[in-house]
Chain A
Amino acid sequence: MSENWEPKIITFVCNWCTYAGADLAGTSRFKYASNIRIIKTPCSGRIDPMFIVSAFEKGADAVLISGCHPGDCHYNEGNYNARRKFTMMKRLLDTLGVDTRRVVFAWCSASEGIKFSRLVNEVTESIKKLGPYTDYHSLNQEER
């Protein structure tokens, strides 16, 4: 691990709750670690579990996925459908030995700017402790 290594955390959020929550963190000037890169989707229902795989392949050290709380979904039920997909994906990754501490799911509403900033800081801190995800990244190098 190099001295100045910083974790790379890819974040998938829904437009209506968590993206707006992140905006609120901004307008409220809640500071948080700059390690995350947010990718916006309309709804957590649009977030494909395979995005996680792709993110790790592209060098992410952790993936954070967040949408509206149950009952808050702008599209009424997108997050309920997403929750089932995430349940299965989490189990599958676990079965395969993927370090699921690096896959974080959260609900974060448009009013939870503080939750969003805390969440990012917590995830960043915990990944800093875990170090880079070399196990997964090594899959990229071993060409046969």
Chain B
Amino acid sequence: MKYGYYPGCSAKSTAPELDATTLALIDFLHLDIKELKDWVCCGASSMHSVDKVLHTALSVMTLDAANAEERDIMVQCPACLAHVLEAKEVLSKDSELKSDVLEAVGKQVDANMKIRHFSSILHDEYGLDKIREKVTNPLQSLSIASYYGCLIVRPPERMQYDDPENPMVMDQLMSTCGAEIVQWPFKTKCCGAGTAISDTDVSLDLTYEILRMAKNNGAECICVLCPLCQNNLDLRQKKIEQRYGEKLNLPVLYYTQLLGLAFGLDPIMLQLNRLFVDPFPLLKRKGIL
């Protein structure tokens, strides 16, 4: 295992807690993962609809950065993951797009590296057994609904993440940490983060549905991996309360934060205090803090 960490722009701006907890876990588990020196923003959500060549070239530059350090790529943000995988696909066979992209980048770039999401690496490379050994503070009796979001499993041929209809990677990580996992139908339903600015109402509807379904199925908190989902589900709960008259009070935590808790890491280091829906009362009630 020798990965270069590609945090992406969200982890460095709106989701610093994801970045911080990732680094904390890497450090705690002694993983050979280092942040890539020359990673580039993947241009997500705007670039690909503007210029296909430049959009692909951005991700190809990140691939090149990994080549320079002779490392495979570990990604945290599903959007970044989708785009570097797409770039790898483009480089894998000759096409006009490939030659245009390479011309834009200005050099030959090989794409023989492995590209994986951090949760996949923990799940099947580091392994559940070793994770279980590290758990000192089990998340006992905490009912967690894992919410994967729309991007990480789609399109399945490219992402190769898990069963696209019912992924279990985070569920298994959480149950390894001693949590009760909630089987619920909306694991990969879109939260509408993409329209959160342009059409907040649509986004609110979707977010409310997801939170309500999680709660109805017995979830006490939600475990996420995507910085946009986290933001959307966490930030909007107050608005939902006003609009739908239902108090949800469901903390939305990154799986890295929950793993950190189970490993006994300091809650402030895990930046639990940065969340909008305060998780401390729940965690205290469960005896986890």
In the complex, A touching B, CB below 8 Å? no
Interface positions of A (Cβ within 8 A of B):
none
